[in-house]
Amino acid sequence: MNTNGRGKIIPIYYFIPSDYDSEEYPNMFHINTQSNITIRHIRSKFPLLGDYYFRFKVKNGDSYVWMDPKEDDEIPPTYNGLIISKVLRVSWDSNNNIQNIHNKIKHDKLIEDPISSVMNSQDIKFRNLSKAQTLPTTNSHIPNNDLIDLNISHNNWVDNGYI
CATH code for the domain of 35: 2.40.240.130
Q: Kindly state whether residue 129 falls inside one of the protein's structural domains.
A: no
Q: Kindly state whether residue 23 falls inside one of the protein's structural domains.
A: yes
Cβ 53 vs Cβ 95: under 8 Å: no
Q: Kindly state whether residue 36 falls inside one of the protein's structural domains.
A: yes
Cβ 77 vs Cβ 50: under 8 Å: no
Q: Kindly state whether residue 81 falls inside one of the protein's structural domains.
A: yes
Alpha-carbon distances, residue 141 vs 67, 84, 145, 147 (angstroms): 20, 22, 11, 17
Mean predicted confidence (pLDDT) in 55-74: 93
Tell me, what's the pLDDT at 125?
44
Give the residue numbers spanning the domain of 39. Answer: 2-92
Q: Kindly state whether residue 7 falls inside one of the protein's structural domains.
A: yes
Query: Which one-letter amino acid corresponds to residue 98?
Result: I
Q: Please provide the average confidence, as pLDDT, over all residues in the chain.
A: 72
Work out the number of other CB atoms within 10 angstroms of the CB of residue 42: 23
Tell me, what's the pLDDT at 159?
54
Q: Kindly state whether residue 152 falls inside one of the protein's structural domains.
A: no
Q: Kindly state whether residue 46 falls inside one of the protein's structural domains.
A: yes
DSSP 48: S
Tell me, what's the pLDDT at 91?
86
Q: Kindly state whether residue 13 falls inside one of the protein's structural domains.
A: yes
Positive or negative, the Cα torsion across 68, 72, 73, 76? positive
Tell me, what's the pLDDT at 56?
96
- pLDDT band for position 121 (cuts 50, 70, 90): very low
Res 71 pLDDT > 70? yes
| Number of domains the chain contains | 1
Res 137 pLDDT > 50? no
